[in-house]
Amino acid sequence: MATTSRTVRFHAYGGPEVLRIEDETVGEPGPGELRIRIDAIGLNRAEVLFRAGVYIEDVKEFPARLGAEAAGAVEAVGAGVTGFAPGDPVSVVPAFSMNAYGVYAERAIVPATAVLHRPEGLDAVAGAAVWMPYLTAYGALVQVGGMTAGDTVVVTAASSSVGLAAIQIARRVGAVPIATTRTGAKKAALLAAGAAEVIVDEDKDLVERVRAATGGRGAEFVFDAVAGPGVLDLGRVVAPGGTLFVYGALSGLPTPYPGFDLGMPALNMRTYTLFETTHDAERLRRAAAFVSSGLRTGAFRPVVDRTFPLAEIADAHRYLEAGAQIGKIVVTVDHDAEPAATPA
């Protein structure tokens, strides 16, 4: 049975002003798919980049949809899908191209492989805020890196949702998280979130501070969302044989390989995207089990900075781009709102 859904689309690359809320007909899910009634949407920087035309993949066809993380309930189950039934509270995790699916909407069809049952007691807003951050940090630092008790990890852009998740995950496995942030405005919040130490970028003493905190050893891991020329200093703080993960490019600047400038130390440097975990069913199963366990014990507490209604999606994107938030930005969906096609 087809139904109408308010859906966010954009007809050309641009700023938040290109986002439009339009009525779209949503039909039945196909084989391997689910139709989800969406109650909350987690915003991610990937959507800003996709909208602006500077993401790791281009838009294949306009009008284009957005969004890969949401929470709601199953409405319909496609052929061949097991383990889900209408009414199940679920979360959608980023595991697909936004050229194929998008969850900025009242209802959306998504692949069942991108859907997780929502842990008991987790509401829709938290369910839209938890998976991308924790799966990203766990996938890189634990699944790939093997971070364990006694290790030190330097987390850049630590007030982001991923940065805060990395701090909590480090604490849970017995590692020591050192947070970095652009200004001192977020220092107290990062210490309260569990950072062992906070280094403010404008102080320009990253190398000395990390060396001092680790007894001169350096950090076994650096988890970097910024990239750009700053990787030279980050490379200097990695312990011999340690790993510098680059999972974002907030600087927007070219990123050199620091090994040559630093005299070719025993430095591992690699990129990481969440898809490494979410495209592998077994890795996703294990990562979801780890995160669910942390949620049950209270070790993990997803941080939501602010919520916006779907009608204010353009403002939500402007707020995300301003970079002042601590934690996640979530958009909520009011299913009683008038289904009229209006600009965002």
Host domain of residue 24? 3-129+303-343
**Is pLDDT above 80 for 337?**
no
Cα torsion through 71, 12, 317, 301, rounded to 10: 30
Helices 281-297 and 131-138: angle between axes, nearest 10 degrees: 110
What's the number of CA atoms in the CB half-sphere (13 Å) around residue 170? 28
**Is pLDDT above 50 for 103?**
yes
Q: Are residues 123 and 234 in the same domain?
A: no
Specify if 159 maps to a domain.
yes
Question: The CATH number of the domain where 316 resides is what?
Answer: 3.90.180.10
Number of domains the chain contains: 2
Specify if 292 maps to a domain.
no
Cα torsion through 289, 90, 160, 292, rounded to 10: -20
Specify if 328 maps to a domain.
yes
Predicted TM-score (pTM) of this structure = 0.93
Q: Are residues 123 and 242 in the same domain?
A: no
Specify if 313 maps to a domain.
yes
List, for residues 296-306, the tens digit of each pLDDT value: 999 999 999 99
Q: Are residues 145 and 104 in the same domain?
A: no
What are the DSSP E strand ranges found in 2-82?
A: 3-10, 19-26, 33-42, 64-65, 70-77
Q: Are residues 136 and 271 in the same domain?
A: yes
Q: pLDDT band for 263, please (50, 70, 90 cuts).
A: confident
List, for residues 138-180, the tens digit of each pLDDT value: 999 999 999 999 999 999 999 999 999 999 999 999 999 999 9
Strands 219-224 and 152-155: parallel
What average pLDDT is seen over the chain?
Answer: 94
Q: Are residues 19 and 145 in the same domain?
A: no
Q: Hey, how many other C-beta atoms are within 10 angstroms of the C-beta on 298? A: 7
**Is pLDDT above 90 for 188?**
yes
Q: Are residues 155 and 246 in the same domain?
A: yes
Reduced to 3 states (helix: H, G, I; strand: E, B; else coil), residue 103 is coil
Specify if 231 maps to a domain.
yes
% pLDDT > 90, the chain: 85
Reduced to 3 states (helix: H, G, I; strand: E, B; else coil), residue 231 is helix
Specify if 290 maps to a domain.
no
Q: pLDDT band for 343, please (50, 70, 90 cuts).
A: very low
Specify if 329 maps to a domain.
yes
Question: The CATH number of the domain where 148 resides is what?
Answer: 3.40.50.720
Q: Are residues 113 and 229 in the same domain?
A: no
Per the DSSP assignment, residues forming a β-bridge with 307 are 330
Handedness of CA 247, 251, 253, 256 (dihedral sign): negative
